[in-house]
Copies of this chain bind each other. A is one copy, B any other.
Amino acid sequence: MDFQRSSFNAENCSVKRTLDIVGEKWTLLVLREVFYGARRFEQFHAGVGCARNVLTDRLTTLVDHELLRREPYREPGQRQRFEYRLTEKGLDLLPALLALMQWGDRWEADAAGPPVTITHRDCGEPVEVVLRCRAGHTALTARDTAAAAGPGALRVA
């Protein structure tokens, strides 16, 4: 998909803006754990396996950008702590996370196959990430797509 790329400034690129928030491996792995049901610091720490200060930093980034929200809780006899829950903005990142997973399943999995399967809760069939156009054409590939300047394009003077 070619367009006159050199005529536009990529400063406001949406891929870059997304990666400025989640484009760090641990951040996406923290989100993976949230989708798998983790809510508490120790669950994230057990699942992600990064250093505790790194994890604290990544959770703060996700809260600051409103992908996660903090909810207070208190276990009997303990001080108040916080759980982390997905916001709508955070939930909306699932297609990106599953697209990365699907690529890894296809190209980097062990011979035994993918470690995790994602299914449709209602019917039990496997879930796939696909490219579809608004007219309903589906399973599009890179060769079926074209890029063009959008309404927010920054044209180079």
Task: Point out residues on A near B: beta carbons under 8 Å.
Answer: 1-3, 5-6, 8, 10, 12-21, 23-25, 28-29, 32-33, 35-38, 43, 46-49, 86, 89, 91-110, 112-123, 125-135, 137-138, 140-154
**Which residues of chain B are within 8 angstroms of A127 by Cβ–Cβ distance?**
131-133, 140, 145
Copies in the complex: 2
A116 touching B148 in the complex, CB below 8 Å, given contacts A23-B28, A47-B10, A110-B12: yes
Task: Report the separation of the CA atoms of residues A36 and B126 in the bound assembly, to the nearest whole angstrom.
Answer: 31
**What residues of B have a CB within 8 angstroms of the CB of A143 in the complex?**
91, 121
Cβ-neighbour of A133 out of B23, B123, B137 (below 8 A): B123
B115 and A152 contacting across the interface, CB-CB below 8 Å:
yes
Other A-B pairs beyond A1-B118, A12-B115, A116-B147, 10, CB < 8 Å: A10-B115, A23-B28, A94-B141, A96-B96, A115-B154, A120-B133, A125-B135, A129-B132, A130-B130, A132-B138
